[in-house]
């Protein structure tokens, strides 16, 4: 059977060569000042709990999406294919994905989804960077979290707004949740899960100092669930890490250096939103048009975000109303009516798809100065 | 030569048959309650003043754009091809365009551009629906406007922000302008001209009761100047008229029933913006999702506007942040978190590209009720 | 856990609602005279042999592709996930797919891939419409085929050109293959497998009276393997059946009523190629242009094929060279130079992507007559 | 009025800046061995005969299309706007276009269209590179051609298949034409004019040694007549010249070094078709796939042609039928079944859209050798 397999391998490799034509879908964000901007999907299922694909497919999808990392997070307490897949090792899906990723520059994070009920229990939580998922199989909810802590896990609260737990789709804390957080057993929260988003989770994150996470929670295929062929993207978390390593990502997650990327929105804390927006958008002083006091400012967007700006400067623009769209990976020239000829112009924008809270958006101060 | 011409005619007709493939660029807006929404470009030049095409091309361009009406508005006092085109009849371009339009459902409005200087004079103004452009060739500025009035013309003030007159690109009134308005000799104002827009013209329009106009002022080719192949459109005025006739349009213009359509922005008075937005967007109560209190509301947009909505409702949405885009000619389902099951839900949106003034946008109240 | 599951069900249903936007990829062919044109993929793997997805994903992919039928054809002698999936029932994948398809108008055909070696053995063969895959698990190759016959199976020879068996990628018969065919134990042959095609298989099909099949043999994801997002399609077999039932498809396969659809090529016997091309393309006598002898003939293509025609008529066309492309789902007007005014014009085309053999293409005679 | 004009100039310049977004439509062909491949449209009208635009528009259109040269070729004997444009100087359109082109790298060729009737007269002919169009205004047809010769003009026979002269749309020689050619007064022929093509003109070109020309003969707008926004192109002539000068182009035209580019077809003499196809397409020996005898050959197409190849090699390909499309500006890997491992493989293709005559196509021999 050796020949069979080696030929199979050649054929598969060949078939899966990813061509230039296919790279458009790769998610692209620039690094920020001082950190790499790592693209991670921290919530993923396979056939080993209630997903529908073998773990290697999760690696392939991640490569097509240009991700830096994925976490395999099977339900600890729920495997609906158990009759067919009786293997009791809760690390099995991780091992397969990790082995498949070896040939690629993709980090696979070992994880597990603690699957408890709300509103009485703690709900669902992902323990990431764990040593052994099997040891998390304990009766009492609190004990699972204690064990996760023993393993040094970063623990995030999943979809607190899930309609199966909260029929109004609104996230709320219960005593169990508060207790876990107060004990340092939960460190992050999904402000975005799958195709849903709930603005009150941002408030919870801010009030309780939790790291904001966006994740796919994919069970079927990424391409179908998130309509990739129509130009959409899966939700991910941008993790601002010093290096491209699991260790460095873990450090960044505990330090809260993240932004969620969902449905053309960046969601997160002001500091990190500002960092990624500043890295994505640049504004360049060009020239005044002839003898006028109208300044050309060239805007360049090197990210995947179709930015929606609200011009809150004291200056208006000759060709645009106050709301201006700067599509992903594009350039645009703004014609700023500065009223007199200036060598420095202070522009200001509210970025309407950089969300810091309910009805709250990032304000970006943009000084534009003449080159010397 | 008869044969020659008739064959030429056949060949041209054939070549210019407009196929289904080409209809995407046609500008489309629904009619509003009580009025037709006529699409008009009220400021156009040809070789007979300082444009670069024969008048028949203006008719062709208008047909490709799906317009209902164009006005031919040659400069009265400026013809830079005069040596080649010495014909002194200022109605000549209009006659040619009108004859070319006869086979089509396109209204050609006779007009002329009064071309006087700012800041000392009245600037440029279009007199529309005139009887004879030649009679407007008089020395004194004020006399031209008096003659236009005698002919029953609707007169609009063109590009008050034009940098050739106002080097800071900011529109301002002078005594001459105020005098003309007070005498009822000017009735409209370009809030949009060519590729420019200036928010202070909206204030002037509102303060002085002028009809808001958006127009192309095209000299070269519409397709190049407005990047049609890249999906853009020329600026036009939506005129809300009772019938598709020149007379009815004139009545609507005097009555101020217009909205300007520019660079994906609707600009105008609240009443007419609300009318066109209500006609363009519909919201339909669908169903609650299973046992949840999350209501599906189907939004349908039948206009060319890529609407940018700000959800100012008391309800948030399960899948969207507060800023929501509803692309032209599309449907989208909003998942409204109503907290309890309701048979009527009051939604409210600020439409960020329906501009009523500087930093002012149309607010649309949208009651969504269960069908009986 | 009941609540959990029902909510999950709602969520999945919702997420997987297929919108209008996604229907472009659905494979579309018209029915032919006397038969339905059923779209089938007769060679598919899942995790239950060496594929990478749970069987429900194969159903989803088929729905996205607009297929009428899929066959689940796991390797009988090869399961590389056996350690994780020890279930010995070789019908298991079929059962799961069948249950998933119940809510949809998709036929799932029970099958199995007999996995024997070439060049000494018979190679790989799919037995379709079987009663019980487990009974095919017998030692001797010939016995498997006898058992398939007992179950009434349609048996096809898979990828006779497979490089793992034939390092030059050229299909060749061995004694075993000839013996099986002579005994009526093999009825079809893959002229297309996955992303490969070999013209000599068409000769084999014709010489031995085998039904021509195109199939995906998909192991990973259809979308990635066949670059669906770039506008490509998976290989399928068009089966010309009297009804949309498994029984009727089986009858059509035994009767040889198929065409393979691969990489924008139709491959098959002349009779059925002609039928599907005639159903796809229509030619309509329109009018002579003015006083000329140039006739307008409107061509309409209602299939997914981008047809490449070679005009072998005695007439040439005014606007086209001899090679003419008629894109999928489009209309085009040909200007035929008939030299005199005719009420019937006999056109003839070689269809360069309707392949009947090596360097052999379908010739289509197209009489175009004036409507009365 | 100085200010007025200078501002106008600034505004127009700005408005007409051609952005990266608009460059896709620029026609692109590589240079061939020993010559530049200059892109020229040698047949163009403006308002100064029976066209509909001022000459500056022809310069703009050419810049958008990325042309190297245009010829202004007004009808000598026909000006249907004469009443409005009484200027008798037949060079006037050329002068204006030339002045407009000065700021750009575009050559404007002075020309004139001799407009005589068929079938009794010589038909229409363009005299190019003339000194003075006015001197061509003489009574007798033959005298015009003699005068053109005196001016050193390259003279081409326009649309010999024009339905106004030939109601069956078929080009035929008359005695006058033969006489002109025999006297060396006609040097080229339009095998393509506007949206028409007639294969018998290629035979005439070959029989009489005439240079093959494709030209737009545009009267209205290039963008509308040739459906540019739908991805089409105007017909042009590729002129293989030593330098980018009018003189060098004239030399090349007299020497017959041209290929016409029409509706995705290259039409011309074998020598020059082969040169441009060899420059456009490259084939690179890559590697054999694993232990097989299947060779990967990488094809690169750097031209605007969507090539349609017919593989007439003795080898077949693993993934393609004999007809293969190589889209403009793309790469594709062919998998060649060489049956044994070879260091040199002789491929051969018929290029079905490189037309050398009626039913005749360029054959390209492609030796592909292992790199050392």
Among C10, C14, C290, beta carbon nearest to B10: C290
Give yes or no for a contact between B337 and B316, defined as CB atoms under 8 angstroms apart. yes
Give yes or no for a contact between A277 and A354, defined as CB atoms under 8 angstroms apart. yes
How many Å lie between the alpha carbon of B228 and the closest alpha carbon of chain D? Answer: 8
How many Å lie between the alpha carbon of C329 and the closest alpha carbon of chain B? Answer: 12
Residue pairs spanning A and B at CB distance below 8 A? 104
C16 has a pLDDT exceeding 90: no
Give yes or no for a contact between C123 and C117, defined as CB atoms under 8 angstroms apart. yes
pLDDT band per the 50, 70, 90 thresholds, residue C66: very high
Sequence-distant contacts of D336-343: CB under 8 A, at least 24 apart: D336/D294, D336/D295, D336/D296, D336/D297, D337/C168, D337/C169, D337/C170, D337/C198, D337/D293, D337/D294, D338/D293, D338/D294, D338/D295, D339/C168, D339/C170, D339/D293, D339/D315, D340/C168, D340/D293, D341/D288, D341/D293, D342/D295, D343/D369, D343/D370
What local confidence, expressed as pLDDT, does residue B121 receive?
80
How many Å lie between the alpha carbon of C203 and the closest alpha carbon of chain A? Answer: 25
Taking contacts as CB-CB distances below 8 angstroms, the residues of chain B near C7 are 290
Contact call for B11 and D228, based on CB within 8 A:
no
- Whether residue B351 lies within 8 A of chain A, CB to CB, comes out as no
Does a cis peptide bond (omega within 30 degrees of 0) precede residue D119? yes
Among A267, A318, A322, beta carbon nearest to B196: A318
Give yes or no for a contact between B188 and B194, defined as CB atoms under 8 angstroms apart. no
- Whether residue D15 lies within 8 A of chain B, CB to CB, comes out as yes
What local confidence, expressed as pLDDT, does residue C2 receive?
36
pLDDT in tens, chain D (372 residues): 334 444 444 444 344 344 434 568 999 999 999 999 999 999 999 999 999 999 999 999 999 999 999 999 999 999 999 999 999 999 999 999 999 999 999 999 999 999 988 777 888 999 999 999 999 999 998 999 999 999 999 999 999 999 988 999 999 999 999 999 999 999 999 999 999 999 999 999 999 999 999 999 999 999 999 999 999 999 999 999 999 999 999 999 999 999 999 999 999 999 999 999 999 999 999 999 999 999 999 999 999 999 999 999 999 999 999 999 999 999 999 999 999 999 999 999 999 999 999 889 999 999 999 998
- As given in the structure block, the two tokens for residue C366 are 């197209």
Among D170, D308, D339, beta carbon nearest to C308: D308
Q: What mean pLDDT is reported for chain A?
A: 93
**Exposed e or buried b per residue across C170-201, where buried means at least 16 C-beta atoms within 10 angstroms of its C-beta:** bbeeeebbeebbeeebbbbbbbbbbbbbbbbb
Q: Which residues pair with D71 in a beta bridge?
A: D109
- Whether residue C170 lies within 8 A of chain D, CB to CB, comes out as yes
* C240-257 mean pLDDT: 98
How many Å lie between the alpha carbon of B12 and the closest alpha carbon of chain D? Answer: 9
Residues 6+ apart with CB under 8 A from D216: D41, D43, D44, D194, D222, D225, D226, D234, D235, D236
**Rounded to whole angstroms, how far apart are CA atoms A155 and A129?**
9
- Whether residue B161 lies within 8 A of chain A, CB to CB, comes out as yes
Residues 6+ apart with CB under 8 A from D369: D285, D343, D344, D345
How many Å lie between the alpha carbon of B371 and the closest alpha carbon of chain D? Answer: 43
- pLDDT per residue over C234-248, tens digit each? 999 999 999 999 999
Taking contacts as CB-CB distances below 8 angstroms, the residues of chain C near A64 are 224
**Rounded to whole angstroms, how far apart are CA atoms B79 and B86?**
9
Give residues 213 to 272 of B whose Cβ lies within 8 Å of D. 219-221, 223-225, 227-230
Contact call for A164 and C54, based on CB within 8 A:
no
Closest chain B CA to residue D58: B52
Stated as kind and residue range, the H or E segment containing A253 is helix A246-254
Contact call for C323 and D308, based on CB within 8 A:
yes
3-state secondary structure of B255: helix
Give residues 271 to 300 of C whose Cβ lies within 8 Å of B. 289-290
Give yes or no for a contact between C14 and A14, defined as CB atoms under 8 angstroms apart. no
Contact call for D198 and C318, based on CB within 8 A:
yes
- pLDDT per residue over C203-219, tens digit each? 999 999 999 999 999 99
Contact call for B164 and D8, based on CB within 8 A:
yes
Contact call for B229 and D47, based on CB within 8 A:
no
Among A51, A84, A227, beta carbon nearest to C85: A84
Q: What percent of chain C has pLDDT over 70?
A: 94
* A196-208 mean pLDDT: 95
Contact call for D169 and C355, based on CB within 8 A:
no
How many Å lie between the alpha carbon of A317 and the closest alpha carbon of chain B? Answer: 8
What local confidence, expressed as pLDDT, does residue B165 receive?
87
Contact call for D227 and B47, based on CB within 8 A:
no
Closest chain B CA to residue A265: B321
What local confidence, expressed as pLDDT, does residue C27 receive?
98
User: In chain C, which ranges are continuous DSSP H helix?
Assistant: 2-16, 55-64, 92-101, 141-150, 175-182, 199-208, 222-225, 246-254, 270-280
Sheet containing strand D294-301, edge to edge, reads D281-288, D294-301, D330-337
Angle at A68 between CA A64 and CA A74, to 5 degrees: 85
A152 has a pLDDT exceeding 50: yes
Contact call for A6 and D290, based on CB within 8 A:
yes
- Whether residue D14 lies within 8 A of chain A, CB to CB, comes out as yes
Residues 6+ apart with CB under 8 A from B183: B145
Q: What percent of chain A has pLDDT over 90?
A: 88
Among B7, B290, B331, beta carbon nearest to C290: B7
Among B318, B322, B358, beta carbon nearest to A169: B318
Q: Which of C275, C222, C252, C243 is nearest to C66 (CA)?
A: C222
Q: Which of C180, C135, C184, C127 is nearest to C158 (CA)?
A: C127
Closest chain A CA to residue C80: A5
Q: What percent of chain A has pLDDT over 70?
A: 94
What local confidence, expressed as pLDDT, does residue C21 receive?
40
Among B169, B294, B322, beta carbon nearest to A318: B169
Contact call for A15 and C225, based on CB within 8 A:
yes
* A104-125 mean pLDDT: 91
- pLDDT per residue over C139-172, tens digit each? 998 999 999 999 999 999 999 999 988 999 999 9
Contact call for B167 and A292, based on CB within 8 A:
yes
Contact call for D8 and B56, based on CB within 8 A:
no
What local confidence, expressed as pLDDT, does residue D22 receive?
53
Closest chain A CA to residue C223: A223
Taking contacts as CB-CB distances below 8 angstroms, the residues of chain D near C320 are 197, 263
Lowest mean pLDDT among B280-284, C77-81, C105-109: C77-81
**Rounded to whole angstroms, how far apart are CA atoms C321 and D308?**
13
- pLDDT per residue over B218-233, tens digit each? 999 999 999 999 999 9
Give yes or no for a contact between A231 and A26, defined as CB atoms under 8 angstroms apart. no
* A21-31 mean pLDDT: 84
C9 has a pLDDT exceeding 80: no
Contact call for D220 and B60, based on CB within 8 A:
yes
Taking contacts as CB-CB distances below 8 angstroms, the residues of chain A near B169 are 292-294, 318, 335, 337
Contact call for B323 and A316, based on CB within 8 A:
no
How many Å lie between the alpha carbon of A19 and the closest alpha carbon of chain D? Answer: 10
Q: What mean pLDDT is reported for chain C?
A: 93
Residue count of chain C, please give it. Answer: 372
Q: Which of B58, B51, B50, B56 is nearest to D51 (CA)?
A: B56
Q: Identify the chains in contact with D, defined as 3+ C-beta pairs within 8 A.
A: A, B, C
Among D199, D292, D320, beta carbon nearest to C163: D292
- As given in the structure block, the two tokens for residue B109 are 């409005």
- Rg over CA atoms, chain C: 23
**Rounded to whole angstroms, how far apart are CA atoms A144 and D311?**
65
Among B197, B289, B292, beta carbon nearest to A321: B197
What is the pTM for the complete model shown? 0.94
Mutating which of C159, C169, C197 best tests the D interface, going by the most D Cβ atoms within 10 A? Answer: C169
- Whether residue D191 lies within 8 A of chain B, CB to CB, comes out as no
Contact call for A54 and C228, based on CB within 8 A:
no
What local confidence, expressed as pLDDT, does residue B23 receive?
62
Contact call for A289 and D6, based on CB within 8 A:
no
* DSSP 8-state secondary structure symbol assigned to residue C22: G
Contact call for D52 and B52, based on CB within 8 A:
no
Mutating which of C2, C16, C290 best tests the B interface, going by the most B Cβ atoms within 10 A? Answer: C290
Q: What mean pLDDT is reported for chain B?
A: 93
What local confidence, expressed as pLDDT, does residue D7 receive?
43
Taking contacts as CB-CB distances below 8 angstroms, the residues of chain A near C87 are 83-84
For A133: left if phi > 0, alpha if psi spans -120 to 50, otherwise beta; the answer is alpha
**Rounded to whole angstroms, how far apart are CA atoms D137 and A35?**
76
Quick one: CA torsion of A285, A290, A294, A297, rounded to 10 degrees?
-20
Closest chain A CA to residue B351: A323
């Amino acid at each position: 059977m050796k020949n069979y397999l080696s030929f199979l391998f050649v054929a598969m490799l060949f078939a899966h060569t990813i061509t230039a034509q296919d790279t458009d879908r790769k998610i692209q964000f620039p690094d920020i000042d001082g950190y790499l901007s790592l693209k991670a999907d921290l919530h993923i299922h396979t056939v080993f709990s209630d997903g529908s694909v073998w773990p290697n497919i999760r690696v392939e999808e991640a490569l097509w999406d240009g991700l830096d990392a994925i976490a395999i997070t099977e339900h600890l307490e729920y495997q609906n294919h158990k009759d067919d897949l009786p293997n009791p090792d809760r690390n099995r899906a991780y091992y397969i994905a990790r082995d498949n990723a070896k040939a690629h520059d993709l980090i696979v994070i070992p994880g597990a989804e603690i699957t408890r009920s709300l509103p009485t229990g703690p709900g669902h939580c992902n323990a990431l960077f764990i040593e052994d998922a099997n040891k998390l199989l304990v009766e009492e909810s609190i004990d699972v979290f204690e064990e996760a802590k023993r393993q040094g896990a970063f623990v995030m609260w999943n979809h607190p707004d899930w309609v199966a737990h909260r029929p109004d789709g609104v996230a709320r804390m219960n005593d169990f949740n508060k207790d876990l957080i107060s004990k340092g057993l939960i460190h992050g929260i999904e402000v975005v899960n799958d195709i849903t988003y709930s603005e009150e989770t941002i408030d919870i994150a801010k009030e309780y100092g939790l790291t904001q996470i966006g994740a796919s929670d994919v069970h079927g295929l990424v391409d179908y669930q998130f309509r990739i062929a129509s130009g959409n993207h899966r939700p991910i978390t941008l993790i601002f890490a010093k290096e491209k390593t699991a260790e460095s990502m873990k450090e960044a997650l505990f330090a809260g250096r993240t932004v969620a990327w969902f449905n053309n929105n960046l969601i997160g804390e002001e500091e990190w939103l500002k960092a990624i927006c500043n890295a994505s958008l640049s504004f360049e002083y060009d020239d005044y048009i002839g003898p006028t006091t109208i300044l050309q400012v060239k805007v360049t967007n090197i990210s995947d975000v179709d930015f929606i700006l609200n011009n809150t400067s004291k200056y208006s623009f000759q060709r645009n109303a106050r709301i201006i769209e700067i599509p992903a990976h594009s350039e645009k020239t703004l014609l700023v009516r500065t009223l007199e000829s200036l060598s420095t112009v202070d522009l200001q924008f509210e970025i309407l798809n950089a969300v810091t809270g309910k009805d709250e958006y990032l304000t970006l101060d943009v000084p534009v100065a003449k080159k010397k």
